[in-house]
Amino acid sequence: MTAMTKRQALRLKTEQQQNNRQSKRHPLLSETDINNILVNGAQIALSKLKRAKTFDARLYYYAEIGVYLEVSLSRGAGISDLTRDQLREIHQEATHLHMDANKKFALLAE
């Protein structure tokens, strides 16, 4: 074995530590996790939208569902087509609920 300088020994030690960290690294989220998080979050927002009493609350939850749909359109994020379809359906239902509630409110205001 050849003699090493302090700098070389330090560099070797740092590389070994980085390799150990990388080999022990466990990703926090898998692709299925992100899909579940998006769909479950949108479903929760939809149920809150159904219970919302005020226009501002309905608008907030409708926008939240829109954000989940927008995030699902990101390419390369591991989001499946099934998730996109589910979010599209949830968004469509939310749109109908929000618009129907606005129509009812407009009729009551007249």
Domain ranges of the chain: 31-109
Non-local CB neighbours of 65 within 8 Å, separated by 6+ positions: 42, 45, 46, 49, 87, 90, 91, 94
> Which residue type, as a one-letter code, is found at position 29?
L
Cα 6 to Cα 79: distance, rounded to the nearest angstrom:
47
User: pLDDT band at 99, cuts 50/70/90?
Assistant: confident
Give the tens place of pLDDT for each residue, 34-61.
888 889 999 999 999 999 888 888 999 9
Non-local CB neighbours of 93 within 8 Å, separated by 6+ positions: 46
